[in-house]
């Protein structure tokens, strides 16, 4: 039964303004779909300052914080909730290291980013943080429970 719970794990993935401006939204979605995760929420929005302040509250004292907020406000983001077995850990691996120079080729950042300050995508870094971030960015009514049909059997191995 523990496996079933982990199957329903959810994470927040966001294509940041540079990713939207560079038309990388489709590529990011394609990677998560191909990997086998299920999209349960998605929207394009200009992130409100209050949401960004809450989202990055741990980084408030960092020297790069003002630039980070400017960057994240510089255009719309595409916020998504993806669901599936171990999705938090797996999506961090798919996104790659925070520092683009360390991000492995084949990861989103390793393929599309050269600098830590323009790293294309956000992914929650733990199950607890994911739950907090999902409720910050989405109303529960914006998340859709839907059936994967035969594909759900992939998880019952």
Measured distance CA(108)–CA(101) in Å, rounded: 12
- Is 49 a binding residue for ligand UDP by CB under 6 A? The answer is no
Q: Which is nearer to ligand UDP, 10 or 122 (CB)?
A: 122
Both structure tokens of 133? 């971030």
Q: Is 122 a catalytic residue?
A: yes
Among the listed residues 46, 98, 126, 152, the single contact to ligand UDP using CB under 6 A: 98
- Is 152 a binding residue for ligand UDP by CB under 6 A? The answer is no
Among the listed residues 116, 127, 129, 148, the single contact to ligand UDP using CB under 6 A: 116
Measured distance CA(56)–CA(76) in Å, rounded: 17
Supply the minimum distance, in Å, between the C-beta of residue 99 and ligand UDP.
Answer: 7
Measured distance CA(9)–CA(6) in Å, rounded: 5
Q: From the candidates 55, 57, 115, 122, which is the catalytic residue?
A: 122
CA distances from 110 to 36, 85, 121, 152 (A): 21, 24, 11, 30
Both structure tokens of 157? 């191995």
State the residue for tokens 């995508």: 121
Q: Which is nearer to Mg ion, 60 or 151 (CB)?
A: 60
Interacting residue ranges for ligand UDP, rule: CB under 6 A: 59, 64, 68, 98, 116-117, 119, 122, 125
Residues noted as catalytic? 122
């Amino acid at each position: 039964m523990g496996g079933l719970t982990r199957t329903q794990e959810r994470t927040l993935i966001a294509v940041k303004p540079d990713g939207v401006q560079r038309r990388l939204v489709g590529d990011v979605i394609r990677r998560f779909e191909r990997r086998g995760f299920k999209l349960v929420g998605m929207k394009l929005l200009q992130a409100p300052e209050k949401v960004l302040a809450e989202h990055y509250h741990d980084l408030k004292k960092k020297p790069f914080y003002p630039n980070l907020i400017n960057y994240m406000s510089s255009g719309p983001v595409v916020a998504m909730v993806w669901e599936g077995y171990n999705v938090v850990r797996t999506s961090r691996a798919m996104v790659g290291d925070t520092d683009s120079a360390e991000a492995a080729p084949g990861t989103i950042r390793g393929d599309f980013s050269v600098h830590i300050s323009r790293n294309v995508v956000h992914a929650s870094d733990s199950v607890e943080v994911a739950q907090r971030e999902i409720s910050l960015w989405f109303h529960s009514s914006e998340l859709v429970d839907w059936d994967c049909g035969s594909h759900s059997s992939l998880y019952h191995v």
